[in-house]
């Protein structure tokens, strides 16, 4: 069973002090393995946006690259795709996801660093935690939660991320566009930022990696009003050249979910 009590269901981007209470055990409930539907995505989005902020920020401060951070987010989403949102402490699961992702992507992190960086995130300016009984309870909670997550996910913790596809698509698109259009608009920077922010929601479970990569690039072009040359004369749209099985409704769904993430983020106090 996973110790509980380190955090509480998300109410804001930075809860008061989810690291301040000792752990206590909680039970487990599960559901058949499936990716979240649109209804489930919308229902849990408010919960996800707040908690994932406390996963992404400490992950970056710990020196994790984009792929390990993406793996941590995917592990988190996939765990709560299988487990009840109310059965486990989301902040404990987030810290355990960072710890597990570091192992999966061979970017090993010490549990002490994860605990201290997370504590600093919730309590800016605070000193590192003392190596007292509370610290060791917290450390044991992370380790036990990691073992539970591995069992729940059936040790399937390697994922295909959109990053390599987006890199390839950006290189190709750069050669299509004229130099002036590419240099005057931060299309690449925006696309990477959109991809990173997509992990606040469950898009990584609901859509194929290459489809997400095309969709964030499509949205970045739309934001800056950049048109791909000869698109009207082409036999197929540029995005279908990158992914033949991709359709416009899929792009619209991904973009809609991304916009919903940003909308929800503005509504969190």
109 Cβ neighbours under 8 A, 6+ residues apart? 62, 64, 98, 99, 102
Residue 266's pLDDT is 63
Residue 121 resides in a domain: yes
Residue 269's pLDDT is 52
The CATH number that applies at residue 92 is 1.10.472.10
Tell me which residue range forms the domain holding 88. 3-152
Residue 147 resides in a domain: yes
Q: What is the chain's pLDDT, residue by residue, as a tens digit (269 residues)? A: 333 333 333 333 344 444 443 333 333 323 233 454 444 444 455 556 667 777 788 888 888 999 999 999 999 999 988 888 788 888 899 999 999 999 999 988 899 999 998 888 888 888 888 888 888 999 999 999 999 999 999 999 999 999 999 999 999 988 888 788 788 899 999 999 999 999 988 899 999 999 999 999 999 999 998 888 877 677 888 999 899 999 999 999 999 999 988 887 666 55
Is the same domain home to 65 and 124?
A: yes
Is the same domain home to 141 and 182?
A: no
Residue 113 resides in a domain: yes
Residue 45's pLDDT is 54
Residue 25 resides in a domain: yes
Is the same domain home to 172 and 91?
A: no
Is the same domain home to 95 and 194?
A: no
Q: Which of 152, 174, 205 is the last residue of a domain?
A: 152
Q: What are phi and psi of 16, to 5 degrees?
A: -55, -60
Contact 149, 100 (CB under 8 A): yes
Is the same domain home to 44 and 139?
A: yes
Residue 255's pLDDT is 95
Is the same domain home to 145 and 234?
A: no
- Count up the domains in the chain and report the number: 2
Q: Which of 129, 152, 175 is the last residue of a domain?
A: 152
Is the same domain home to 16 and 79?
A: yes
Residue 172 resides in a domain: yes
Residue 263's pLDDT is 84
Is the same domain home to 136 and 22?
A: yes
Q: Which of 152, 177, 204 is the last residue of a domain?
A: 152
Residue 44's pLDDT is 54
Distance from C-alpha of 88 to C-alpha of 28, rounded to nearest angstrom? 8
Residue 84's pLDDT is 82
From the number of C-beta atoms within 10 Å of its C-beta (0-12, 13-18, 19+), residue 244 rates as exposed
Is the same domain home to 106 and 8?
A: yes
Tokens describing residue 29: 């409930």
**pTM over the 0.75 mark:** yes
Is the same domain home to 17 and 102?
A: yes
Rounded to the nearest 10°, the torsion over CA 202, 205, 210, 216 is: -10
Residue 158 resides in a domain: no
Residue with tokens 């987010």: 73
Residue 28's pLDDT is 33
Residue 193 resides in a domain: yes
Is the same domain home to 144 and 199?
A: no
Is the same domain home to 12 and 94?
A: yes
Residue 157 resides in a domain: no
């Amino acid at each position: 069973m996973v110790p509980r009590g380190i955090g509480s269901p998300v109410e804001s981007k930075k809860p008061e002090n989810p690291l301040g209470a000792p752990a206590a055990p909680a039970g487990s409930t599960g559901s058949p393995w499936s990716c979240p539907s649109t209804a489930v995505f919308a229902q849990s989005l408010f919960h996800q946006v707040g908690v994932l902020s406390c996963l992404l920020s400490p992950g970056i401060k710990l020196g994790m690259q984009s792929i390990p951070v993406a793996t941590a987010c995917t592990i988190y989403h996939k765990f709560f795709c299988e487990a009840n949102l109310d059965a486990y402490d989301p902040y404990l699961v987030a810290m355990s996801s960072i710890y597990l992702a570091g192992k999966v992507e061979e970017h090993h992190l010490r549990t002490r660093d994860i605990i201290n960086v997370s504590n600093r995130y919730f309590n800016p300016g605070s000193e590192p935690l003392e190596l007292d009984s509370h610290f060791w309870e917290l450390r044991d909670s992370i380790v036990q939660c990691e073992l539970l997550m591995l069992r729940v996910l059936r040790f399937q913790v390697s994922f295909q991320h959109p990053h390599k596809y987006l890199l390839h698509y950006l290189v190709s698109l750069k050669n299509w566009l004229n130099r002036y259009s590419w240099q005057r608009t931060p299309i690449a920077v925006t696309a990477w930022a959109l991809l990173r922010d997509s992990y606040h929601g469950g898009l990584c479970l609901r859509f194929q990696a290459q489809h997400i990569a095309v969709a964030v690039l499509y949205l970045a072009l739309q934001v800056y009003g950049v048109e791909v040359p000869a698109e009207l004369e082409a036999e197929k749209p540029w995005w279908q050249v990158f992914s033949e099985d991709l359709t416009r409704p899929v792009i619209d769904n991904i973009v809609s979910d991304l916009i919903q993430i940003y909308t929800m983020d503005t509504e969190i106090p």
